[in-house]
Structure 1
């Protein structure tokens, strides 16, 4: 007798990671429930930086324009001297967009606005967050997971094929699975608060006493709002007054100014900075994503971005397996994403030490454009390729022209839940289209023309080459005409033949 699963996937936690996974499953037609134990949406700005690679993901999910409209670019940072004078500098390296990398600068948008845009997008697919509903029990067998949920109407039991724990650093899912969370407390306690204030202009990120951990304070205008975000290290022990009066006193003491006044506190938190990584990302039918799998210090703006990319990596794989692909596909999730989180934890910790000294600079390493999966089982390795991207690298964008004369972006062709096969100066009949795979031919006489040769330059292709791009925008294979048989075999292994 066939066992019934309603829904296919249970997602626990409706932050950025849980919402990304829900949107990705929804657009693929996979049934899910997204639960959140809090009674309503998160109201803080915490993860306010959206890095270029995450912007590419948001384009694919159909929300990048809304995100840009709701937020803005980072202002210059203004570092004040003791005499009240200051110097200004950019928060990160200024780079221009290129045809291959259309998003080049981090966006600033408070986390509560990001998640609001994502909930709106989810609703367009017919999905929603179930607030006030908490996972209180979890059991697994070889066929699925049984989850016990508590909510306003009491308890219920849900049977699902898979469960995703996106429930934060204190993850119930991680504890229920008895997964270790190795790492350390970094010896830094800080206050972060969203406030309404008077006395400072909104054209700069105001920083006082950089390099002095007992006196540092930063006040950053939050794009898209009337708020400023206050950030300040505080003693490891003792109470912190997070009221408007208490924070005003802190500002006055650390800036030496009495003209800056906090009028209202929208949200505030005092927290210990940690760097921790789950021992494993999977246990049977259950997976960890986002802060449930890794916790970062805020330096470098990596936490929310890494979390979104966890979900983006897992979503298409869950959908494929639920629709009949080999369950071994899911083994690649931890293999691909855990090393990325380990690397980002190291980067954020290095940047934290630089912030303590007052000399933190954010370069290309925080943009996450160079993250890839070259050793993945989902990558067809072809030895001898010396130039350009290889299997496992991010797929670059490129401007093209359609045969009918209209401009087309390569990212527009990759957008959506499918695999994409790109042939450069090939015969279209060499590989036929199939369910779940789109084929586009580029070159003279083909449907797409590489008029300015941006595609050729970005991919270092020669006539007869084929590029296979995964649903999450990474190159799975790049082969020439002599390796068609290997590519055909690889496609069959992925269920795409």
Structure 2
């Protein structure tokens, strides 16, 4: 089971959609693999109700202690930590092994009444105008399943993508091979990461050890120049050759893989009633920690659109491929550029800037301009209710609904607003339900008269002006937030 598959299933299940989640593996994956969670992914996990568990189980990016030619060269960070702000509550990447992230999402799925069906492989798929017919095999026994839609989030070797005959454009570079694995290294201070190399401009000559949360385990990453086996003996030999002064003794290898740059993008993300997400649609080099996070965003973008289609509003599904394939192509370019820097020995090859945090992902039209327009990420903001209690906008966004923000005092006739909401309903937002929030400044008086034409709503006070600033709003503005936390409309 991959993270995007579990996250997408949780998103659908909380919307009351009947879901089956199958995985051909016999048991859950055990290993760190995609262990870097970007800030935008943390916001998704906030919405899915698992952020507390993720933060409790993980840790911040470590300070890396660099050794060049066996000499301690100082401490470095891949990215300088950033303080939270009212509009960005999770500004820094977070480290949590992929298997731990999956376990948290499985627990959330169980709360929603969904269990992962391990040892169950998809072997065939056909579709027609009304649904998809899937053949599954479990313990050698076939089962035919009829579903309205199918999402293939089954990895780079996706059986779904192959059955559909969708081209997976890109390349595999066999000249670069890297070992990734999880080991113990008890002689090292677990609070730090370590980078051993011949020189600062020769990062591919050495190896890195990054501490994993919990027990004294590290993720090991090292280029492999020969055809040695991916095992503990090979890792120990690499450590002895590239960092003999450290006296490393590696043990308890729990997961290892041989990785080659395999950079690919599916030519299509949709075929009728079948959709691709995550590694089934795009595979990335590990540089920048973008692959898993991009898959999570795929599933988050797709979940509410599938629910809308099942509720009689199929139009949003037409936006999944153009939105997500465009984003995936851009992120593939970013992660490939970072890989090239690493191979070329650029002095900033290990640095990670704000472009890797995925907070700037947008679905805005090229013709739209402005600080915050339709398609952009919806910022958070700290406000207060009428009793003075603090409340975040993300608290109100959390859940399967869309959210309408009205910056008071509202202007315009109620029927104009209701017409706009009806239009949004045709786009599928109304199917998820719309929560209405009035936001007023401290010096804006409340309207004591009842307005029977407007639905009941939550009224919040923008005590410090965070919401008006983050949304570039003036009194009378309306902003409709999609269920996936991006702007749908503003007027």
Scaled by the length of structure 2, the TM-score of the pair is: 0.90
Residue 169 in structure 1 maps to residue 156 in structure 2: yes
SS at match of 1:69: helix
How far the C-alpha of 1:81 sits from its partner, in A, is 2.0
Go from structure 1 to structure 2 and tell me whether the alpha carbon gap of 1:425 and 1:115 turns closer, same or farther (over 3 Å shift).
same
Equivalent residues of 2:179, 2:230 under 8 A apart: no
Measured in 2, the distance between the counterparts of 1:190 and 1:53 equals 28
How far the C-alpha of 1:263 sits from its partner, in A, is 1.8
Aligned to 2:222: 232
Measured in 2, the distance between the counterparts of 1:118 and 1:83 equals 42
Aligned to 1:468: 480
Spell out the pairing of 1:106-117 with structure 2 (5 A cutoff): 106-117=93-104
Once the two structures are superposed, residues 174-230 of structure 1 have per-residue CA deviations (whole angstroms, 9 ceiling, x without a partner) of: 000000001112342110010112221112210011543663211111123321111
Go from structure 1 to structure 2 and tell me whether the alpha carbon gap of 1:241 and 1:103 turns closer, same or farther (over 3 Å shift).
closer
Go from structure 1 to structure 2 and tell me whether the alpha carbon gap of 1:84 and 1:126 turns closer, same or farther (over 3 Å shift).
same
SS at match of 1:337: helix
Equivalent residues of 1:163, 1:285 under 8 A apart: yes
Spell out the pairing of 1:20-419 with structure 2 (5 A cutoff): 20-152=7-139, 154-186=141-173, 187-209=175-197, 210-212=200-202, 215-235=205-225, 238-243=227-232, 245-257=233-245, 259-325=247-313, 327-356=314-343, 357=345, 359-360=348-349, 361-375=351-365, 386=370, 388-419=371-402
SS at match of 2:205: coil
Equivalent residues of 2:203, 2:342 under 8 A apart: no
Residue 457 in structure 1 maps to residue 465 in structure 2: no
Measured in 2, the distance between the counterparts of 1:78 and 1:65 equals 29
Once the two structures are superposed, residues 72-92 of structure 1 have per-residue CA deviations (whole angstroms, 9 ceiling, x without a partner) of: 001111110224222111111
Q: Say what the alpha-carbon RMSD is for the aligned residues.
A: 1.8
Moved over 6 A (4+): none
Once the two structures are superposed, residues 447-493 of structure 1 have per-residue CA deviations (whole angstroms, 9 ceiling, x without a partner) of: 211111111111111111100100000011111xxxxxxxxxxxxxx
Go from structure 1 to structure 2 and tell me whether the alpha carbon gap of 1:164 and 1:83 turns closer, same or farther (over 3 Å shift).
closer
Measured in 2, the distance between the counterparts of 1:78 and 1:353 equals 23
**Aligned residue pairs: how many?**
456
Measured in 2, the distance between the counterparts of 1:336 and 1:473 equals 14
Go from structure 1 to structure 2 and tell me whether the alpha carbon gap of 1:249 and 1:239 turns closer, same or farther (over 3 Å shift).
closer
Go from structure 1 to structure 2 and tell me whether the alpha carbon gap of 1:30 and 1:448 turns closer, same or farther (over 3 Å shift).
same
Aligned to 2:450: none
Equivalent residues of 1:214, 1:234 under 8 A apart: no
Range moving further from structure 2, 150-159 or 331-340: 150-159
Residue 441 in structure 1 maps to residue 438 in structure 2: yes
Aligned to 1:9: none
